[in-house]
């Protein structure tokens, strides 16, 4: 499961302000009680509690607002900041104005807005905070003498709150920037990979057009040879050759059909059991020496899916890779299992090879651990999973070998259950 990462933007800043607003209501109430009751300082508590109560009601209203589906605009966020600044200014006016150590909290809205809005909005918020501070310098209700010790304590508390909040905001922003850089790098790698796939697809289309004629000629010659040699070892070899030629012709037809399906954005409706069995039959045709074992849910024949273009080839590539790995370790077994896990349809392909020889870099084409491999099968499967909103994971299997896990969301295959 992917770790949830922090985000910045207008909605994120609005949620952060909502959380800070509730914290401010609790902290301001506790401070007023401590100063007026604990220290015996005469304060205008009715007006202070009125301001805190209004802030609390506004916090509840914003909480309800953020639960609604419509997005938060920049103007609405500015309104939230303006109301917070006015209420804070009112509370500071009743408690010494600019001489109150907590007047430094007027800087925090500027920091928050700077992470999500344009410089123009930041300037407006800065002028709003500056104007509030200048007003508090001229008009305020002075506090009774508190002594230097209590004033220094207030300054220390204000510094601590500001330092903690600023450190939190900046660390989250730095983390978001690092994540964005990682995402940009991943996007560049995917773009390079897709360019490689496009070049291969272009060459494959040309090869498909050119191969159709020689395959037809070979099919005709093999048919004639089979008539002349109807028995014996040569007849068996010719039959195998005929099947392989027909398989090549089927591949060319599938290539054209997949292209048409991709352009039409349609998939083939079939059951999960039929889909897996079709892939297994193709594997048996390509690799008749493989002992193919499949594990399906009891009602898999009633799970109807719309198979997207390319998914057949992705699964067949995984099965073929598993066959190569098993055969390289003097085993002929390949296991396939299908299950539904939450909102995903999961297909597992397990081989009985020597295990993962090194870290597998998914999505990086043209790298193969096989001397006869082109290195694009696994990359194509990963690209298909990514296009469908799923993922491809390769890990060591219990008891040896490797398990490849292909997971796709149920929504992308439009699964229909009985």
Predicted confidence (pLDDT) per residue in 262-279, tens digit: 555 556 788 888 888 888
pLDDT band for position 66 (cuts 50, 70, 90): very high
* pLDDT for 3: 44
Angle formed at CA 312 by CA 186 and CA 398, multiple of 5 degrees: 70
* pLDDT for 129: 93
Residue entry with tokens 């909102």: 343
Last-in-domain residue among 146, 166, 187: 146
67 within some domain: yes
| Eight-class DSSP state of 357 | -
Burial 355-390 (b: 16+ CB within 10 A, else e): ebeeebebbebeebeeeeeeebbbbbbbbbbebbeb
153 within some domain: no
pLDDT band for position 205 (cuts 50, 70, 90): low
Percentage of residues in the chain having pLDDT higher than 90:
20
CB 300 within 8 A of CB 258: no
Supply the CATH number for residue 328's domain.
3.30.565.10
284 within some domain: yes
Give the Cβ contact number of residue 122 at 10 Å: 18
254 within some domain: no
* pLDDT for 63: 93
- Same domain for 274 and 403, yes or no, is yes
| Eight-class DSSP state of 94 | T
pLDDT (tens digit, 9 = 90+) per residue, 19-34?
Answer: 989 999 998 999 899 8
Q: For the residues 193-207, what does the mean pLDDT come to?
A: 63
CB 350 within 8 A of CB 334: yes
Q: Which of 121-125, 151-155, 236-240 has the lowest mean pLDDT?
A: 151-155
Q: Over the chain, what is the mean pLDDT?
A: 81
The number of angstroms, rounded, from the C-alpha of 66 to the middle of its chain's C-alpha atoms is 23
Last-in-domain residue among 93, 126, 146: 146
157 within some domain: no
List CB contacts of 295: < 8 A, sequence separation 6 or more.
Answer: 335, 336, 337, 338
* pLDDT for 225: 84
The Cα–Cα gap between 122 and 334 comes to 61
Q: For the residues 189-194, what does the mean pLDDT come to?
A: 68
397 within some domain: yes
pLDDT at 150 over 80: no
Would the pTM of this model clear 0.75, i.e. be above it?
Answer: no
pLDDT band for position 379 (cuts 50, 70, 90): confident
63 within some domain: yes
Token pair of 162, please?
A: 């500001």
pLDDT band for position 7 (cuts 50, 70, 90): low
CB 74 within 8 A of CB 104: no
Strand ranges of the sheet holding 391-396, from the earlier edge strand across to the other edge: 291-295, 333-341, 344-351, 402-409, 391-396
Residue 43's domain spans which residues? 10-146
Top-ranked range on mean pLDDT: pick from 194-203, 309-318, 392-401: 392-401
Last-in-domain residue among 146, 168, 193: 146
Closest C-alpha to 313, from 174, 216, 204? 204
| Eight-class DSSP state of 102 | G
Residue with the bigger pLDDT between 214 and 54: it is 54
User: Count of domains in the chain?
Assistant: 2
- Same domain for 273 and 139, yes or no, is no
The Cα–Cα gap between 316 and 280 comes to 8
160 within some domain: no
């Amino acid at each position: 499961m992917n770790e949830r990462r922090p985000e910045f933007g207008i909605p994120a800043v609005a949620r952060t302000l909502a959380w800070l607003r509730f914290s401010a209501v609790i902290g301001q109430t506790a401070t007023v009680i401590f100063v007026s009751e604990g220290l015996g300082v005469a304060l205008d508590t009715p007006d202070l509690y009125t301001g805190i109560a209004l802030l609390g009601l506004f916090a509840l209203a914003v909480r309800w607002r953020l639960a609604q589906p419509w997005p938060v605009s920049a103007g609405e966020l500015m309104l939230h900041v303006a109301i917070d600044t006015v209420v804070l200014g009112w509370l500071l006016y009743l408690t010494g104005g600019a001489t109150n150590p907590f007047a430094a909290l007027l800087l925090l809205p500027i920091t928050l807005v700077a992470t999500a809005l344009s410089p123009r909005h930041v300037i407006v918020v800065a002028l709003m905070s500056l104007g509030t501070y200048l007003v508090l310098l001229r008009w305020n209700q002075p506090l009774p003498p508190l002594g230097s010790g209590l004033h220094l304590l207030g300054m220390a508390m204000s510094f601590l709150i500001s330092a903690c909040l600023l450190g939190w905001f900046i660390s989250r922003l730095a983390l978001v920037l690092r994540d964005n850089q990682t995402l940009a790098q991943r996007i560049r790698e995917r773009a390079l990979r897709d360019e490689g796939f496009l070049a291969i697809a272009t060459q494959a289309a040309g090869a498909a057009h050119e191969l159709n004629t020689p395959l037809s000629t070979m099919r005709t010659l093999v048919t004639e040879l089979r008539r002349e040699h109807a028995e014996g070892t040569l007849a068996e070899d010719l039959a195998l050759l005929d099947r392989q030629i027909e398989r090549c012709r089927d591949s060319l037809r599938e290539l054209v059909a997949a292209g048409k399906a991709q352009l039409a954005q349609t998939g083939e409706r079939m059951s999960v059991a039929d889909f897996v069995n079709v892939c297994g039959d193709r594997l048996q045709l390509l690799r008749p020496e493989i002992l193919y074992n499949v594990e399906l849910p009891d009602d898999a024949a009633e799970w109807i899916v719309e198979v997207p273009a390319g998914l057949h080839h992705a699964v067949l590539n995984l099965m073929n890779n598993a066959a190569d790995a098993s055969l390289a370790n003097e085993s002929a077994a390949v296991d396939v299992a299908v299950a539904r896990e939450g909102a995903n349809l999961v297909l597992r392909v397990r081989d009985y090879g020597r295990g993962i020889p090194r870290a597998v870099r998914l999505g990086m084409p043209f790298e193969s651990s096989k001397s006869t491999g082109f290195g694009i099968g696994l990359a194509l499967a990963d690209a298909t999973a990514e296009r469908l909103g799923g993922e491809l994971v390769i890990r060591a299997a219990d008891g040896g070998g490797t398990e490849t896990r292909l997971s796709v969301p149920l929504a992308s295959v439009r699964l229909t259950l009985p």
